[in-house]
Amino acid sequence: SGKDVAKPSGRVFAPYAIFKGKAALSVEPVLPTFTKIEPGNLRIDRRGSVMMTFMPASGERKYDWGKKQLFALSPTEVGSLISMGSNESAEFFHDPSMKSSNAGQVRKSLSIKPLVDCSGYFFSLTVNNSILNTNERIVVPVAKAEFAVMKAAFSFALPHIMGWDRITTGQATHGITSLPKTSPPQLGLEWV
Amino acid sequence: SGKDVAKPSGRVFAPYAIFKGKAALSVEPVLPTFTKIEPGNLRIDRRGSVMMTFMPASGERKYDWGKKQLFALSPTEVGSLISMGSNESAEFFHDPSMKSSNAGQVRKSLSIKPLVDCSGYFFSLTVNNSILNTNERIVVPVAKAEFAVMKAAFSFALPHIMGWDRITTGQATHGITSLPKTSPPQLGLEWV
Amino acid sequence: SGKDVAKPSGRVFAPYAIFKGKAALSVEPVLPTFTKIEPGNLRIDRRGSVMMTFMPASGERKYDWGKKQLFALSPTEVGSLISMGSNESAEFFHDPSMKSSNAGQVRKSLSIKPLVDCSGYFFSLTVNNSILNTNERIVVPVAKAEFAVMKAAFSFALPHIMGWDRITTGQATHGITSLPKTSPPQLGLEWV
Amino acid sequence: SGKDVAKPSGRVFAPYAIFKGKAALSVEPVLPTFTKIEPGNLRIDRRGSVMMTFMPASGERKYDWGKKQLFALSPTEVGSLISMGSNESAEFFHDPSMKSSNAGQVRKSLSIKPLVDCSGYFFSLTVNNSILNTNERIVVPVAKAEFAVMKAAFSFALPHIMGWDRITTGQATHGITSLPKTSPPQLGLEWV
């Protein structure tokens, strides 16, 4: 939309990636964007997320970037993941076109289920496209230690994707657009 | 009071909001204020809080901002919330006019109780005004994942509302008033 | 000693204080100090602590600052406290003159014990002075929520009193003395 | 390799050291390095670690720095350690020459096992060198409180060694090399 700003330079790429035999999973925080409001203050405009990128393997230690599928965890979904007990499951459903005329065409679901031997979790992303009549599924087994890294890293990232680090430090220099807004902020109704 | 400073620009608004059928709950940290003391040091003046804003619904996906009720969690109350076990309850009582001649006129209580199916908590704010003879109650069901976000975000915010982030970084640039103080700091006897 | 620097301005005072009927307890982090080493690097010189100040009551809501007793928790003692289970106890012993000719003259012990009804902990500081032939004891009951604040705030403070926040951010601007050192760093053998 | 930069000044040394009768263990985070990519962005180049240094004792309160052995915990190994339950064990295997022609010549294993009385853990580092035909083992008993410090400090360090603190603050001023890279980042295949 018109409110979007060009991707700023100064971005830092540091994904946490898990490479397994049949697929890979990479996770990385995406910061929220802010809008300037009077007098010289900022209001969160689009909340951040933890972006999960699933890629199927195309050979030994090779992964097909062109067939990647994305799933952006909202702050509440991040809260759900970091509070999961050791035998618990979680499932999240997204419609990338929610609230638009294309609603319902693509449905994504992310399922997190404990492995039978309790050594970790299956992360399964299913993407159903009713227009193209496709149904894709990418599954990555995540070891307990890798899940622990996710929990710790997501806990660290959570206040940042919520924008609370800005409140507490006043560091308000990234992702800011200065166009005026008259409507209340739309917090995250559109998700990958 | 005379010590108050004008609201500084540079503030950042990033509430975490939960919208439910009958009411909404929004939470946001409020930073402490500091006073300059000799020689060039700072002393915490008014401790921070986590401000909770309850709003009753006025229609489908609409909330009545004019009927909002506030409840400011002190650091110790935040500590109480973040240490709650999964079946535990908590209740906090505030008198916004405590220590003044109006003490006792308005009584607020916030109750946090687990849902029967353990899928989350009821947050109930009751405001009793003995002058206006009113008694209002706003109840918001908070899902387990939303409660997990609160716990993580409040844990992040706690050192900031206590002012300990200033001790450890020396970032002493916000919320500072330079009027001298002769009395010991009044830490949070007045609360919304 | 000659390595000491004058207390810098720019300090921030934000104690977390608990006022009870017979005594008060105030806690606050104390940052480590660093020494410049070649080429333009820093080495931790004196590790930080969490300083606990106990004060006996001298009347209703009044506390006798002149009779205060200090106890500086080392990083490992902080680790002990933040890992305490809900029914566990801890006890720490300090000799402020350890390694000097006055060793053994003053002995301090801090005892943390759960209350019988599990609603919190007793913090008891005993100071025994064999020269003055005195034995003082100050006890403060700490509620569960206050203990939770301590745990969260001490967890936040721990990397800072260890100096690890400097490693990870390079913010090396506080508490630095530039006198050369030839001996290895003495990490916290002298404690209040 | 040619991508290496000279050790920058501005480094901060603040190891957490545990001195025991037969050996000492010192731990410290090592930050990741970054590469500049177009347009003005950064990509993680070599991930960080928590470096563990084991030193055998050479006398009373003396340790032989010349006989030190290193073991660099990867982010996933750090995740494994911080998620260890109170009766759990962990073991990690490293080959410092992995993926080179010297692979298999030196094998290191770090074993973490609970003490029989549950008062802490044994940290045992074994280094087997098939060329020199040597097999060295250094064991340090780590008390429960010291392990708690490690867990808290490693949890703090984890987002930093992953580079996620850069994503969330944009503080991109350390450990940067500007040589172009055409291959995908090699995330930590070579470990001490």
CATH for B16-176, among 3.60.20.10, 2.30.31.10, 2.120.10.30, 3.10.580.10? Answer: 2.30.31.10
CB-based contact C147:C153 (threshold 8 Å): no
What is the average pLDDT across B136-164?
A: 96
User: Touching check for D9 and chain C: CB below 8 Å?
Assistant: yes
pLDDT at position D20 is 96
The position carrying tokens 């387990």 is B144
Q: What is the DSSP string of D128-145?
A: EETTTTEEEEEEEEEEHH
pLDDT at position C103 is 82
Q: Which of D12, D30, D51, D82 to mutate to test the interface with C (most CBs of C within 10 A)?
A: D12
Of C2 and C59, which is predicted with more confidence? C59
pLDDT at position B8 is 55
Asked if pLDDT for residue B24 goes beyond 50, the answer is: yes
Asked if pLDDT for residue C185 goes beyond 80, the answer is: no
The reply to whether residue B152 touches residue A166, judged by beta carbons under 8 angstroms, is no
CB-based contact B110:B121 (threshold 8 Å): no
Asked if pLDDT for residue C187 goes beyond 80, the answer is: no
Residue of chain C whose Cα is closest to the Cα of D142: C76
pLDDT at position D179 is 34
pLDDT at position D5 is 40
pLDDT at position D8 is 55
Asked if pLDDT for residue A170 goes beyond 90, the answer is: no
Cα dihedral A63, A65, A71, A75, rounded to 10, equals: 90
Q: Which of D13, D84, D162 to mutate to test the interface with C (most CBs of C within 10 A)?
A: D13
Residue of chain B whose Cα is closest to the Cα of C150: B79
Answer whether CATH 2.30.31.10 is correct for domain A16-177. Answer: yes
pLDDT digits 0-9 by tens, C43-55: 999 999 999 999 9
Residue of chain C whose Cα is closest to the Cα of D146: C76
Of A171 and C45, which is predicted with more confidence? C45
Using pLDDT thresholds of 50, 70 and 90, give the confidence band for residue B33: very high
pLDDT at position B175 is 44
Closest Cα of chain B to A135: distance in Å? 28
User: Touching check for B148 and chain A: CB below 8 Å?
Assistant: yes
User: Touching check for A120 and chain B: CB below 8 Å?
Assistant: no
Distance of alpha carbon C69 from the chain centroid? 11
User: Which chains, if any, share at least 3 CB pairs under 8 A with chain C?
Assistant: B, D
Interface of D with C in 100-119 (CB under 8 A): none
pLDDT at position C123 is 98
pLDDT at position A157 is 96
Using pLDDT thresholds of 50, 70 and 90, give the confidence band for residue C96: confident
Asked if pLDDT for residue B96 goes beyond 50, the answer is: yes
pLDDT at position D40 is 84
Nearest-angstrom CA–CA distance, D84 and D106: 27
The reply to whether residue A168 touches residue B14, judged by beta carbons under 8 angstroms, is no
| B167 vs A contacts (CB less than 8 Å) | none
For C16-167, CATH number? 2.30.31.10
| A157 vs D contacts (CB less than 8 Å) | 159, 164, 168
pLDDT digits 0-9 by tens, A28-83: 999 999 999 988 889 999 999 999 999 999 998 899 999 999 999 999 999 999 99
The reply to whether residue A42 touches residue B156, judged by beta carbons under 8 angstroms, is no
Nearest-angstrom CA–CA distance, C154 and C160: 10
pLDDT at position A61 is 86
Using pLDDT thresholds of 50, 70 and 90, give the confidence band for residue C174: very low
CB-based contact C166:D14 (threshold 8 Å): yes
Asked if pLDDT for residue A185 goes beyond 80, the answer is: no
Closest Cα of chain C to D10: distance in Å? 5
pLDDT at position A1 is 35
User: Touching check for B28 and chain A: CB below 8 Å?
Assistant: yes
Asked if pLDDT for residue B61 goes beyond 80, the answer is: yes
pLDDT at position B25 is 98
Nearest-angstrom CA–CA distance, B45 and C13: 10
Q: What is the 3-state secondary structure (H, E, C) of B23-75?
A: EEEEEEEECCEEEEECCCEEEEEECCEEEEEEEEEEECCEECHHHCEEEEECH
What is the average pLDDT across B177-185?
A: 36
| C16 vs B contacts (CB less than 8 Å) | 75, 162, 164
The reply to whether residue D172 touches residue A12, judged by beta carbons under 8 angstroms, is yes
What is the average pLDDT across B149-167?
A: 94
| B41 vs C contacts (CB less than 8 Å) | 9-13
Consecutive H or E run containing D162: helix D144-162
pLDDT at position A35 is 92
End-to-end, the C-alpha distance of chain D in Å comes to 16
User: Which chains, if any, share at least 3 CB pairs under 8 A with chain A?
Assistant: B, D
The average confidence (pLDDT) of chain D is: 84
Minimal Cβ distance to A42: which of B13, B143, B151: B13
Asked if pLDDT for residue C163 goes beyond 60, the answer is: yes
The reply to whether residue B9 touches residue A158, judged by beta carbons under 8 angstroms, is no
Which amino acid type is present at position B51? M
Q: At what angle do helices D75-82 and A144-162 cross, to 10 degrees?
A: 100
What is the average pLDDT across C131-150?
A: 96
Nearest-angstrom CA–CA distance, A90 and A5: 34
pLDDT at position C184 is 36
Asked if pLDDT for residue A5 goes beyond 90, the answer is: no
Which residues in chain D show pLDDT less than 70? 1-9, 169-192
Asked if pLDDT for residue C172 goes beyond 50, the answer is: no
Interface of C with B in 171-190 (CB under 8 A): 171, 173-174
Contact: chain D with chain B (3+ CB pairs below 8 Å): no
pLDDT at position A38 is 80
Complex ipTM: 0.84
Q: Which of C7, C9, C13 to mutate to test the interface with B (most CBs of B within 10 A)?
A: C13
pLDDT digits 0-9 by tens, A82-133: 999 888 999 999 998 887 888 889 999 999 999 999 899 999 999 999 999 9
The average confidence (pLDDT) of chain B is: 84
Of C56 and C192, which is predicted with more confidence? C56
| B76 vs C contacts (CB less than 8 Å) | 143, 145-146, 149
Using pLDDT thresholds of 50, 70 and 90, give the confidence band for residue B176: very low
pLDDT digits 0-9 by tens, A127-152: 999 999 999 999 999 999 999 999 99
User: Touching check for D65 and chain C: CB below 8 Å?
Assistant: no
Q: What is the DSSP string of B151-174?
A: HHHHHHHHHHHHTHHHHHH----S
User: Which chains, if any, share at least 3 CB pairs under 8 A with chain D?
Assistant: A, C
pLDDT digits 0-9 by tens, C2-53: 343 444 567 889 999 999 999 999 999 999 999 999 888 899 999 999 999 9
Nearest-angstrom CA–CA distance, D135 and D126: 7
The average confidence (pLDDT) of chain A is: 84
Sign of the torsion formed by the C-alpha atoms of D93, D97, D99 and D101: negative
